[in-house]
Chains A and B, each alone.
Chain A
Amino acid sequence: MRKTIMFRSSLAGAALAALLLPAGPTPAAAGAAAGAKAGTTAASPVRDAEASPLVSTEWLEKNLDSGKLRVVEVSVDPGVYERGHIPGAHNVAWHTDLVETVSRDIAGPDKFAALARRLGIDRDTTVVLYGDNNNWFAAWGAWVFAQYGLVDTVKLLDGGRKKWEAEKRPLDTRTPEVAASAFAVTPASTALRARFTDVLAVARKERNEKILDIRSPDEFSGKIIAPAGVPELAVRAGHIPGSVNVPWGKAVNPDGTLKPVEELRKLYAEAGIDGSKPVITSCRIGERSSHSWFVLSRVLGYPARNYDGSWTEYGNAVGVPVVNLAGTVWGGK
């Protein structure tokens, strides 16, 4: 079984490489040139190009010494970074650096600015985020960075930590030191974040937007309230009325890289999401949905917002409409 998966992933990787190679610039020298060529069409980004939201492992390894590049690991597992990370990468803890630890919110303006300064990030610094678990929290990081205006300069390492390791690329255990930047404190933009009232308006058909629920089909239908091994933090099962279900993993190849743009476009079009209407991505706590937010917003260029309250907020709210196909009753039948 394991062998089959590995075989399939290497096949998929090879196929992806074949797809990308003709368009993929040879790193360093070609990066800027290709960026100029492909940079104008946000709808069909080329990986590794300057305007692309994704960089390949190969590009990253060749550009690690670039002065205006910051590599930042955002992993779920503590201790993963310290025991070996991409050389020169900095560590960001999602549960302390990117959020407020007492109230439920993303890091406030002062906290975020302090983080950016510590990492030596200016507005023209290229930031490559990566992490374990298919870049889940790296994508969450990209979403938080975007709210503070760091959008086009922030990229994800395609395939994340998993692909870097699978390709036997080097790891380092030393922590880099950089000069602090003078990143200014700015308020967070509200344009990329959906709030409870926004979602409720869509559920009540008062607003014509799409909700993309990226949880597993069993969570979506209400058979279960949370994935196996994860605490049930909502007291109701089901989903927000009017939402469609495309599990996040469908956007990913077995080697962790994102699928080609055309396939992604088709995948979401089949669920009625084609970029013509604004989309709200949602999951259980807003983490996995950041991954789909990144695909829709940054890779496909669709107008998308992430609802970080997600099911743990909506599924606990009193008096809101819910679709519960499975009829699961919280607390027993």
Chain B
Amino acid sequence: MTASAAVAAAVPAGAGFRVGVSLSLAGLLVGSAWHLSGEAGGGRLALSLVFGALFGFVLQRSRFCFLCVWRDLLDRGDPRGVLGILAALALGMAGYAVVFGAWLPDPSGTRLPPGAHIGPVGPVLALAGLAFGAGMAVSGSCLSAHLYRLGEGSATAPFALLGSALGFVLGFLTWNPLYLAGIAEAPVTWLPRHLGYAGSLIAGLAVLGGAALWLLRRPLPAAPPPAVADPWRAVFVARWPTWLGGLAVGAIGTLSYLRLGPLGVTAEIGGRSRQGAAALGLLPERLEGLDAFRGCATALGDALLTPNGLFVGGLVVASFAAALAAGQFRPARPGRGHVLRGLLGGVLLGWGAMTGLGCSIGTLVSGIMAGALSGWVFGIAMLAGITGTLGLSRRLGWLA
């Protein structure tokens, strides 16, 4: 029995067409990667597309969404989603440590491991995290989740992404004063430099493990739906448990760092916004010190295809294919609320991601995996931003 036949048999009528389209999209991704890898210097681009597609598939299948899992915990006391994120961070932390040990055997020198997202730590980073968290609460998710939800037909996602482009431009406009006031002299703290690889890994795992124990101090609420017996449905239709998605994200993060660079989804959005704003003459002549920092770099060359562009493209196409096959592609006509919340939240997301040199993936996930203090600070500020914004707006009756 072929794959398509098996899936078709397992899902309701009309599914044959959807599965056919999904398989065509998967074929398109494979074909594009194949084509790119044959071009001179295209190996990196092809691999970016493949990692992006895998990442999109995993995000969609496990609904790996920072806001949703945090809301599950706050509102329903269900820690399963947050545990999934902890699993991603723990696996990635260990994976990064293995790679770092081969590349930079002695972390105590002056050098940082190449490309790792280790950013400046200071009040500006906390402000960026707060804004990003607020943007998540307003728009309904973070940037990576908006990207995979674009593939699910979300009515908010297009406006959130548009808003985030505007937010990036705002970020560029406020960068120079913020840089001079609080970023230029902010320390770039890499924990392995102070604790060694083993010390940093043990400390990080202890924090994650402690958080997991605390979350599990009470019995879990309502049991999860029984495991699906049919393997096709389990993989392609049913929602993956978040811990499985988390482990996959940790593995993809490590492999991506080994071969290409840390995971991140905002370099392309930021880079194109920067190009566009520069063409319109909106940007300052110079963005002080920006391009010397680690993080989701927004300095773009003239290339039409960039590694991050293909990563994001692969993410969206793969999540669309996955959603379609699972019957979870539900396009909705955007109402005024979608547009407003998307745009406003998107601006906050974009400003936070620009000022914080990345988002919940680039700065938080890739930073914490790399042993960067900046990842932890951004993460804590982001959670505070979500919690505060949700609480305040619910009190005022703005958000459900």
**Which residues of A come within 8 Å of B, CB atoms?**
2, 6, 78-79, 81-83, 93, 96, 173-175, 177, 229
Question: How many of B's residues come within 8 Å of A, CB to CB?
Answer: 15
Q: Is the CB of B102 within 8 A of A79?
A: no
Q: Is the CB of A79 within 8 A of B114?
A: yes
Nearest-neighbour CB distance to chain A for B40, whole angstroms, equals: 5
Alpha-carbon gap, A170 to B155, bound state (A):
49
Alpha-carbon gap, A6 to B38, bound state (A):
13
Q: Is the CB of A82 within 8 A of B113?
A: yes
A6-B40, A96-B111, A175-B103 known; 19 other A-B pairs, CB under 8 Å? A2-B40, A78-B114, A78-B115, A79-B114, A79-B261, A81-B114, A82-B104, A82-B113, A82-B114, A83-B114, A83-B258, A93-B111, A96-B110, A173-B102, A173-B103, A173-B258, A175-B102, A175-B105, A177-B105
Question: 24 A-B contacts, Cβ less than 8 Å apart?
Answer: A2-B39, A2-B40, A78-B114, A78-B115, A79-B114, A79-B115, A81-B114, A82-B103, A82-B104, A82-B113, A82-B114, A83-B114, A83-B258, A83-B259, A93-B111, A96-B110, A173-B102, A173-B103, A173-B258, A174-B102, A175-B102, A175-B105, A177-B105, A229-B301
Q: What 7 pairs across the A-B complex have the smallest Cβ distances?
A: A79-B114, A82-B103, A79-B115, A82-B114, A78-B114, A174-B102, A2-B40
Please name the residue on chain A nearest to B105 by beta carbon. A175
Please name the residue on chain A nearest to B257 by beta carbon. A83
Contacts of B259 in A (CB 8 A): 83
Nearest-neighbour CB distance to chain A for B62, whole angstroms, equals: 29
Alpha-carbon gap, A78 to B115, bound state (A):
8
Contacts of A78 in B (CB 8 A): 114-115
Nearest-neighbour CB distance to chain A for B297, whole angstroms, equals: 12
Nearest-neighbour CB distance to chain A for B263, whole angstroms, equals: 15
Mark interface residues in B106-129 (1 if CB within 8 Å of A CB, else 0): 000011011100000000000000
Alpha-carbon gap, A2 to B258, bound state (A):
29
Contacts of A2 in B (CB 8 A): 39-40
Alpha-carbon gap, A6 to B114, bound state (A):
30
Contacts of B104 in A (CB 8 A): 82, 175
Alpha-carbon gap, A173 to B102, bound state (A):
7
In residues 257-288 of chain B, which contact A (Cβ within 8 Å)?
258-259, 261
Nearest-neighbour CB distance to chain B for A96, whole angstroms, equals: 7
Q: Which of A78, A82, A177 has the most CB of B within 10 A?
A: A82
**Which residues of B come within 8 Å of A, CB atoms?**
39-40, 102-105, 110-111, 113-115, 258-259, 261, 301
Please name the residue on chain A nearest to B44 by beta carbon. A83
Please name the residue on chain B nearest to A82 by beta carbon. B103
Nearest-neighbour CB distance to chain B for A13, whole angstroms, equals: 15
Alpha-carbon gap, A96 to B110, bound state (A):
9
Alpha-carbon gap, A123 to B342, bound state (A):
66
Alpha-carbon gap, A126 to B2, bound state (A):
60
Please name the residue on chain A nearest to B106 by beta carbon. A175
Nearest-neighbour CB distance to chain B for A2, whole angstroms, equals: 5
Please name the residue on chain A nearest to B102 by beta carbon. A174
Contacts of B261 in A (CB 8 A): 79
Alpha-carbon gap, A79 to B102, bound state (A):
13
Please name the residue on chain A nearest to B301 by beta carbon. A229
Q: Which of B111, B114, B115, B301 has the most CB of A within 10 A?
A: B114
Nearest-neighbour CB distance to chain B for A100, whole angstroms, equals: 13
Please name the residue on chain A nearest to B101 by beta carbon. A175
Alpha-carbon gap, A93 to B259, bound state (A):
20
Nearest-neighbour CB distance to chain A for B301, whole angstroms, equals: 8
Contacts of B103 in A (CB 8 A): 82, 173, 175
Alpha-carbon gap, A177 to B106, bound state (A):
11
Alpha-carbon gap, A83 to B259, bound state (A):
6
Nearest-neighbour CB distance to chain A for B38, whole angstroms, equals: 11
Contacts of B110 in A (CB 8 A): 96
Alpha-carbon gap, A79 to B258, bound state (A):
10
Contacts of A79 in B (CB 8 A): 114-115, 261
Alpha-carbon gap, A174 to B258, bound state (A):
12
Alpha-carbon gap, A328 to B113, bound state (A):
43
Alpha-carbon gap, A137 to B146, bound state (A):
43
Nearest-neighbour CB distance to chain B for A136, whole angstroms, equals: 18
Please name the residue on chain A nearest to B302 by beta carbon. A229
Alpha-carbon gap, A2 to B41, bound state (A):
11
Q: Which of A6, A175, A229 has the most CB of B within 10 A?
A: A175
Alpha-carbon gap, A184 to B7, bound state (A):
71
Alpha-carbon gap, A276 to B113, bound state (A):
48
Alpha-carbon gap, A183 to B152, bound state (A):
63
Contacts of A173 in B (CB 8 A): 102-103, 258
Contacts of A174 in B (CB 8 A): 102
Alpha-carbon gap, A109 to B25, bound state (A):
60
Contacts of B114 in A (CB 8 A): 78-79, 81-83
Q: Which of A6, A78, A229 has the most CB of B within 10 A?
A: A78
Alpha-carbon gap, A229 to B261, bound state (A):
23
Contacts of A177 in B (CB 8 A): 105
Alpha-carbon gap, A194 to B201, bound state (A):
50
Alpha-carbon gap, A63 to B82, bound state (A):
53
Nearest-neighbour CB distance to chain A for B302, whole angstroms, equals: 9
Nearest-neighbour CB distance to chain B for A177, whole angstroms, equals: 7
Alpha-carbon gap, A6 to B301, bound state (A):
23
Alpha-carbon gap, A76 to B224, bound state (A):
52
Q: Which of B40, B102, B103, B105 has the most CB of A within 10 A?
A: B103
Alpha-carbon gap, A78 to B261, bound state (A):
12
Please name the residue on chain B nearest to A229 by beta carbon. B301
Nearest-neighbour CB distance to chain B for A316, whole angstroms, equals: 19
Alpha-carbon gap, A6 to B41, bound state (A):
12
Alpha-carbon gap, A173 to B103, bound state (A):
7
Contacts of B301 in A (CB 8 A): 229
Please name the residue on chain B nearest to A101 by beta carbon. B110
Alpha-carbon gap, A110 to B260, bound state (A):
36
Alpha-carbon gap, A175 to B100, bound state (A):
10
Contacts of B113 in A (CB 8 A): 82
Contacts of A83 in B (CB 8 A): 114, 258-259
Alpha-carbon gap, A202 to B121, bound state (A):
51
Contacts of B105 in A (CB 8 A): 175, 177
Alpha-carbon gap, A2 to B110, bound state (A):
40
Contacts of A229 in B (CB 8 A): 301
Alpha-carbon gap, A187 to B71, bound state (A):
65
Alpha-carbon gap, A96 to B111, bound state (A):
9
